[in-house]
Amino acid sequence: MAKTPDSSKLKKELGLFDVYALATGSTLAGGFFLLPGIAAASVGSALPFAYLIAALFLLPGLFAKAELATAMPRSGGVYFFLDRSMGPLWGTMSGFGTWFSLILKTSFALIGVGAYLGLFFPNLQIKTVAVGLAVIFGVINLLGAKKTGTAQGVLVIGLLLLLAWFSGLGLFNIEASHFSELLATPSGSLISTAGLVIVSYMGLTKVASVAGEVKNPERNLPLGMFLAYITAIVVYMIGTTVMVGVVGVEALSLNGGDLTPVATTADLLVGNWGKILMTIAAVLAFLSVGNSGILSASRYPMAMSRDRLLPDFMSRLTKKTSAPWVSVLVTTAIVVLFVTVLNPLKIAKLASSFQLLMFTMSTIAVIVMREARLDSYDPGFKSPFYPWLQIVGIIASLWLIFQMGYLSVAFTVGMLWFGALWYRYYASSRIERSGAIFNIFERLGRSSSTDLDRELRTILKEKGLRTDDPFDEIIARSFVMDLDLSTTFEDVVEQASSRLSHRIPLTSHNIARKFLEGTRVGATPVTKGVALPHLSLEGLLNPEMVIVRAKSGVRLLAPDLELSPDTPESTVHAIFFLISPKEDPGQHLRILAQIARRVDSPEFRLEWDSASDEAELKEVLLKEEHFLYLTIRAHSGTSELLGKTLKEMKLPSGNLIAVIRRGDQNIIPTGDTLLTEGDRLTILGDPVFLKVTKAKYSTASNK
């Protein structure tokens, strides 16, 4: 099996604003500064509605990419999604096609700078400028994703400020007579023009290709993409309304379409200085596309190299910035070649059809991943209205591809054919990977892919918990068994099951049987002296756990250990029995992954062995400042709580008492629970509140 891509070597440096800036900057360029004049020649004063319809056509694909990116935040974007869902053949075809499509789009943007600069410098060598800009952005990308994101943020802020000025001023100078024939536009022309301008939104999902470098991807990726989507719709709708309302359809569509419509509009609004100002905006827009384009495009060969679809050297990273320097250099070199030899202004339009196909395939990938029914497929964002929205999106996207003409279809088929040949003669013998679609085949009685499930579990471990996962609460109320004497695994299972039976509607015998069966078939992960027996049960309200420390060790027989396949027998010193509701398999796996993350830390074993009591054993797992233990004692700082109910403590919102230890019993508290001598409270909440509470009640007896 090919090595799992090690995304941890890529620094997670991109925050929400970086995602938003990359997506927005990749979108507001040719679609705003070049296409409106060309589109107006076909659709007239209904131009804003063509942009709105195009945005609606794009929505299913946008939802799909957001879902896939939060489930599999890996660099490589649509290549990685299709490879893992449909298999490496589709991954190879999509990887090459998207890489070259993005390169063409980037070349188109750099050449587009000349269309506006040519208004003031008619003798300027446009291709020389484009080559120079490509080299500059290549160097910026070598400095790492954060530097690229910072540069992108500056460009986007400047661009949006100029567009806000343009739109605000233009709205007060619109002539209503320019929209007199709005309702006369044929619906066929409106739809076909929407197919033309849909390329204006294609940059929204470029950021998915750098998902492996995004902090908190489950929040920042979809939120950044949808904020950029809303921004693009607002800018396109208002901006094109201003262009039509100020300039008029006749002037916009003259000679097949004005190639500098924004500058023309600004010139009419305020004169030459407005023309200069919006030329600056156009240059910023095209520069932002060029910058983000090289960043996004370079991640495709890197990801394909890691999966052995391209030579290994393509995935080499710089030591200081963790930038894929070979991929960046190769991508930049191809951009330079394209702007020098080809005419990207024409060819880039062909690339849009391939990207539209990738939107279609991403939507299909969502269906494949869901129907594969892998518990480890756990997206932070889910596409709504499944599967009807996805079916509509697939049909609409394929229809639009054919609306773009035979040449666009030929380019798309050609890129797929090239990718298929590369896979057949270079890559197929180098990999043993399959996609999630084989798990659908398994349901039909054929083969399945277990490698993908392992990889998705690794991704879950890297992503960590979600904000609403009750991990701290589960640990706080868990049972603890601290065993001094040597014993058998079966005896430990019986004791743990006896405790769990007090909270779970199953007998101790049945719980034990299920745990032992899972261990015998190899379903118990074991690593570094730690075992994680786990079950999912229907109808369970909350996850429950038993924590076991076996000082003398427990010998665990496991024929096919999930996390340590090299060792057929293991002696473990820590066992975590977890039972979760079957209705939420993703949360179950995230809890297991969080425990595994803690176990993998170098200090875990020392802290585990040196823990003096139950509270400290739990603290080893939590390793956070979000919990506090208080013991109620007379003649101590907590004496004022004796005889009071929990609701009389008046905890701030968001803080709670998760469990009360009374003697050898754990009590799940309510507001009416009365506090008595010796009660040990586990409080979860805000670190600031807990610090104040600890200072208020802390005495030697509460330590």
- The CA distance from 131 to 516, in Å, is 65
Q: What is the 3-state secondary structure (H, E, C) of 78-119?
A: HHHHHHHHHCHHHHHHHHHHHHHHHHHHHHHHHHHHHHHHCC
The average pLDDT across 357-364 equals 88
pLDDT at 228 over 90: yes
- If pLDDT is split at 50, 70 and 90, which confidence band does 366 have? very high
Q: Classify strands 526-527 and 665-667 as parallel, antiparallel or unpaired.
A: unpaired
Select the more confidently predicted residue: 211 or 550: 550
Name the one residue in this structure whose structure tokens are 């499509």.
Answer: 101
**d(C-alpha 397, C-alpha 59), whole Å:** 10
Lowest mean per-residue pLDDT among 379-383, 534-538, 549-553, 603-607:
603-607
Answer yes or no: is pLDDT of 180 > 70: yes
In this structure, the chain runs to a length of 703
What b/e readout covers 301-317, taking b as 16+ CB neighbours within 10 angstroms?
bbbbbbbbbbeeebbeb
Q: Give residue 108's pLDDT.
A: 78
Phi, psi of 544 (to 5 degrees): -130, 150
Residue 496 is encoded by which pair of tokens? 């743990």
Predicted confidence at residue 693, as pLDDT, reads: 80
Order of strands across the sheet with 665-667?
627-631, 680-684, 656-662, 665-667
Confidence of residue 146 (pLDDT cuts 50, 70, 90): low
In this structure, what is the dihedral angle of CA atoms 112, 115, 118, 122, given to the nearest 10 degrees?
100
How do 680-684 and 526-527 pair as beta strands? unpaired
Average pLDDT over residues 466-491: 88
pLDDT at 436: 58
Residues sharing a CB contact under 8 Å with residue 150, sequence separation 6 or more, in sequence order: 18
Q: How far apart are CA 12 and CA 140, in angstroms?
A: 17
210 DSSP 8-state letter: B
**Which pTM does this prediction carry?**
0.73
Looking up tokens 């004497």 gives: 485
Dihedral sign for Cα 73, 75, 81, 83, please.
negative
Q: What is the pLDDT of residue 685?
A: 74
Residue with the larger pLDDT of the pair 565 and 196: 196
Rounded to the nearest integer, the mean pLDDT of the chain is 82
Query: Higher confidence at residue 433 or residue 672?
Result: 672
State the average pLDDT over residues 62-79.
Answer: 86
> Residues 455-460: what's their mean pLDDT?
76
Residue 518 buriedness (CB in 10 A; 0-12 / 13-18 / 19+)? middle
Tens of pLDDT along 616-630? 888 888 755 567 778
Choice between 137 and 119, residue whose per-residue pLDDT is larger:
137
Per the rule left: phi > 0, alpha: psi between -120 and 50, beta: everything else, 231 is alpha
Res 675 pLDDT > 50: yes
Going along the chain from its start, the domains and CATH numbers come out as: 7-427 (1.20.1740.10), 464-622 (3.40.930.10), 625-703 (3.30.70.1450)
For every residue of 213-225, which 3-state class applies, written as one string?
HECCHHHHHHHHH
Q: Roughly what angle, to the nearest 10 degrees, separates helices 325-341 and 272-306?
A: 130
Positive or negative torsion for Cα 65, 67, 73, 74: negative
Confidence of residue 560 (pLDDT cuts 50, 70, 90): very low
pLDDT class for 389, splitting at 50, 70, 90? Answer: very high
**Average pLDDT value for residue range 491-500:** 94
What is the mean predicted confidence (pLDDT) over 245-274?
86
Name the least confident of 62-71, 477-486, 534-543, 657-666: 657-666
In this predicted model, what pLDDT tens digit does every residue of 98-127 receive, in sequence order? 888 888 888 878 877 776 787 788 787 778
Q: How far apart, in Å, are the Cα atoms of 438 and each of 85, 102, 448?
A: 9, 30, 4
Q: Do residues 206 and 296 touch, judged by C-beta distance below 8 A?
A: yes
The predicted structure's pLDDT at residue 614: 82
pLDDT digits (tens, 9 = 90+) for 269-314: 999 999 999 988 888 888 878 877 888 888 889 989 988 899 999 9
In this prediction, residues 35-53 reach a mean pLDDT of 88
Residue 145's pLDDT is 59
In sequence order, the 6+-apart residues with CB closer than 8 A to the CB of 648 are: none
Which DSSP symbol is given to 426? I
Percent helix / strand / coil, the chain, rounded to 5: 65, 10, 25
Is the pLDDT confidence value at 220 over 70?
yes
Per DSSP bridges, beta strands 569-581 and 665-667 are: unpaired
Instruction: Tell me if the bond preceding 533 is cis, omega within 30° of 0.
Output: no
Alpha-carbon span 201 to 237, nearest angstrom: 13
Determine the pLDDT at residue 104: 83
Of 351-365, 454-468, 576-590, the range with the lowest mean pLDDT is 454-468
According to the model, what pLDDT value does residue 440 have? 54
Give me the percent of the chain exceeding a pLDDT of 70: 89
**Predicted local distance difference test score (pLDDT) of residue 198:** 82
- 633: region left, alpha or beta (phi > 0 left; psi from -120 to 50 alpha): beta
pLDDT, tens digit (0-9, with 9 covering 90-100), for 630-662: 888 888 888 888 888 888 887 776 677 877 888
Dihedral-angle region of residue 405 (phi above 0 means left; psi in -120 to 50 means alpha; beta otherwise): left
Question: Is pLDDT of 494 > 50?
Answer: yes
Is residue 558 within 8 A of residue 522, CB to CB? The reply is yes
Mean pLDDT of 658-668: 78
More confident residue, 641 or 145: 641
Is residue 565 pLDDT above 50, yes or no? no
Which of these ranges, 208-212, 258-262, 275-279, 295-299, has the smallest mean pLDDT?
208-212
The whole-angstrom separation of Cα 103 and Cα 295 is 10
